[in-house]
Amino acid sequence: MKDAFIGIDLGTSSVKISLVDEERVTRGRVTRKYGLKIGNGGEAEQNPAEWYNSVMDGMEEIVAESDGLEIKGIGLTGQWSGTVPVDRNGDAISNAIIWMDTRGSDEISKLTSGFPSISGYRLDKLIKWLRKTGGAPAHSGKDSLAHILYIKHNLPDIYEKTYKFLEPKDYIAAKLTGNFKASWDNLTLLWSTDNRDPWNVTYDDGLLRMSGILKEKLPQVIKPTDLVGSLKEEVESKLGVKGVKVVSGCGDVACSLIGAGCIEDYKSLIYLGTSSWITSHVSFKKTDIFHNVASLPSGITGKYFVAAEQESACNSMDFVSDLLNITGEDKYSVIDDLVSKSEPGSRGLMFLPWLFGERAPIEDPYVRGGFYNLSLENNKADVVRSTMEGVALNSKWLLNTVEKFTGKRIEELYMSGGGALSSLRATIFANVLGRKIRVVSDQRFSTVNGAAMISAVGLDKLKFSDLSDLGAPFVDHLPDMEENSLYEREFHQFIDYYRNNRKSLRQSNST
């Protein structure tokens, strides 16, 4: 009987669960969707109980498909920069404040302001954060620290009742095991851990005091490959399993690298999901505060990963397709068909994908998107194609920033995520970026497969070096340099639009 491992990827719109055997072959996969609450004033919340129920429902189906396999471990990944206040039983006492929420921006402004300052950060505080963490709290208010401070100052009853503040995946781990532990990569956006030694990340008492959060309200820090614990008896009984261990895993950005087989330093990935990122493993701790890019502790002990995330990617296409009433099971084939009917450049129409502000390469919660240069000559196909192109143009901006950050030109990028299911989209990205794109297999489930394999590593069944081909076989897309020249011209217009309009956008959206 072969050993097998379950991966859980708690995303923003759904949870993905996979079953992977010891030979790295995917033996089962399921998806369960859940809701998202977007409110006024930057509110973005989800119901943690709905997450957990979806996880359990999906795992029951996965276990039912595991004949001939012995499930040994569960690995976790998912959205990070979220906050779940829980009681001593691990039950949520309010909705989770997720990574999109900006309500804590005022608290962060108060925390970081002062004289003398640079880029809105009081100099002495900035030096402490940069020296120990490799970054600093984002002014957008989207970091975990901002969420906790928002609760502390605006929802004091919830703050007082909270036993622990947990990240989303660590909430699921607590529900499964009864233990309150968190991987150190997932705690980075508290800006209260000392990340100078990637082999031993710990809370820093001085940073905690400066930030104003209590250590006793935070989970125990562990490595991504450490055990959180065994499944609780009631969970084992419900699933019909015995002796299964839960390994902490890591956040989705770090885990996406592992799932795509990007184990070696500088082997780079572009992930296309609700949001998007360009990342790789590196051996150094570094920060670019002007573009909101940093290298942070990774899912592989002893390494860092480049954190460079753009806020909106595939959700842009979902938003536009809903407006155009493109729905149904064949929605994405209809989208690809429309894209193929429009020419590169969308006949001058440009989409700006800043639908919920931006993280990188500019941290700007006030910027907003839309269509630029729309004319009566444009049609539905142009609108859809320009949406794909606009996300790619923003990724080009991010790629330029990442290359300056690492000092390395990236000749090829591996691609995963739901957006990579579209061959047309991958081709557009290759042409816009002017780089070879290597689409991984099992694109939508590569990250969750990585989480399953982290549990195998944590249980000493595999080594990370065994995972360098995890995303194979790859489908390559080479750039058409003539189209790349066209997109180069569009890219300069794209950047100019932001530079020329950022002040007026701030005035429109800061009240």
From first to last of the 511 residues of the chain, give the pLDDT tens digit.
899 999 999 999 999 999 999 999 999 999 999 999 999 989 999 999 999 999 999 999 999 989 889 999 999 999 999 999 999 999 999 999 999 999 999 999 999 999 999 988 999 999 999 999 988 998 989 999 999 999 999 999 999 999 999 999 999 999 999 999 999 999 999 999 999 999 999 999 999 999 999 999 999 999 999 999 999 999 999 999 999 999 999 999 999 999 999 999 999 999 999 899 999 999 999 989 889 899 999 999 999 999 999 999 999 999 999 999 999 889 999 999 999 999 999 999 999 999 989 989 998 988 999 999 999 999 999 999 999 999 999 999 999 999 999 999 999 999 999 999 999 999 999 999 999 999 999 999 999 999 999 999 999 999 999 999 899 999 999 999 999 999 999 999 999 999 999 999 999 998 7
β-pairing, 220-222 vs 181-183, is parallel
| Amino acid letter for position 171 | Y
| Local structure of 73: helix, strand or coil | strand
pLDDT number for residue 473: 94
Nearest of 184, 249, 395 to residue 193 by alpha carbon: 184
Q: Parse the chain into domains and list their residue ranges.
A: 2-261+446-467, 276-282+285-300+303-431+480-509
Phi/psi of residue 414, nearest 5 degrees: -80, 150
2-261+446-467 against 276-282+285-300+303-431+480-509: fold identical: yes
Q: What is the predicted pLDDT for the residue at 65?
A: 86
CB atoms within 10 A of CB 71: 22
Give the H/E segment covering residue 178: none
Question: Is it true that domain 276-282+285-300+303-431+480-509 has CATH number 1.10.486.10?
Answer: no
**Size of the chain in residues:** 511
CATH number of 2-261+446-467: 3.30.420.40
AA identity, residue 271: Y
- Report how far residue 150's alpha carbon sits from residue 137's, in angstroms, rounded to the nearest whole number: 13
Q: How confident is the model at residue 233, as a pLDDT? A: 96
User: What pLDDT, on the 0 to 100 scale, is given for residue 329?
Assistant: 84
Distance (Å, whole) CA 260 – CA 469:
8
d(CA 69, CA 248): 22
- What are the Cα distances from residue 267, in Å, to 106, 187, 403, 410, 411? 38, 24, 12, 8, 10
Give the pLDDT of residue 124. Answer: 95
Which long-range CB contacts under 8 A does 33-39 form with residues at least 24 apart? 36/12, 36/98, 37/95, 38/100
201: left (phi over 0), alpha (psi -120 to 50) or beta: beta
